[in-house]
Structure 1
């Protein structure tokens, strides 16, 4: 059988980990993922790593933050008055909240991770929780459908 090419549909298993070794995503056991190269189901940098692989082969690729969830922007970390949460929720570090932000004259709900809480303020991060982190994928090609 010929190796993976641009127009192929492939079946893979994968595990995605952070530098610490923490697993952040993986195909469920005995449930491989089927996708067409270029369909956007996985990050393009991971798709490219599949090219040239043959069934049964495993490849490990580390993708840069820019090719995954983007860089971590310091300007997306905000300190808010704790009073805006009174009577609604008791924020705690690690919580992910849906907060209202104005963008282009419209109010939108945006997820934010609570970083810290003190008596008067709450510091939140509007970046994706995985922003700024390289991700290592270990991918095994199960099969190719030409």
Structure 2
């Protein structure tokens, strides 16, 4: 039998690909299929680790649709990441004077630099309740990928 020379995705591969994420309720979250393909380096944090793992071993030219179970794409929901933030902390670490409404994604300055974000779940006179879980944590995801090139 002849040995296959088709490149396959490895843990440090540089890829050109199209991909699409669809939530379990059928809403498209992101897609590159109607635009230019994405290029990324595996292992560099550009995709969630679980999505990178799903790509390993796929051949160049392959078109695959993967069903990732709840919690397997962006991790399980962590109740400890739903936290009360004081109004003072909110004012100090976000855009001053911003009027937030429930459902907003709010970016905060992290201690020591950097940014993180949470979704506003509730608001009252003493503060705000934020969910710092990834918005897709705990959800089943359909991950469609077409591998165009592997370096």
TM-score (normalizing by structure 1): 0.67
Q: 1:94 aligns with which of 100, 103, 113?
A: 103
Q: Distance in 1 between matches of 2:52 and 2:15?
A: 10
Quote the Cα distance in structure 1 between the aligned partners of 2:128 and 2:86: 6
**1:15–1:25 contact (8 Å) kept in structure 2:** yes
CA distance in 1, matches of 2:54, 2:108: 37
- Matched with 2:128 is 122
Q: Which has the higher strand share?
A: 1
User: What do residues 6-60 of structure 1 show as CA deviations (whole Å, max 9, x unaligned)?
Assistant: 26543211101111111222226341123455454333443444414241x3111
The residue aligned with 1:113 is 119
Q: How far apart are the structure 2 equivalents of 1:45 and 1:78?
A: 25
**How many positions carry a matched residue from both structures?**
141
Matches within 5 A, 1:1-146: 1-6=5-10, 8-27=13-32, 29-50=34-55, 51-55=57-61, 57-64=62-69, 66-79=71-84, 88-99=97-108, 110-118=116-124, 122-145=128-151
SS in 2 for 1:46: helix
Alpha-carbon separation, structure 1, partners of 2:6 and 2:47: 22
Given that 1:9 and 1:36 are in contact with CA atoms closer than 8 Å, whether structure 2 keeps it comes out as yes
Q: Cα gap change, 1:119/1:58 in structure 2, threshold over 3 Å: closer, same or farther?
A: same
Task: In structure 1, list runs of 5 or more residues that go unmatched.
Answer: none
Structure 2 spans left out of the alignment, 5+ residues: none
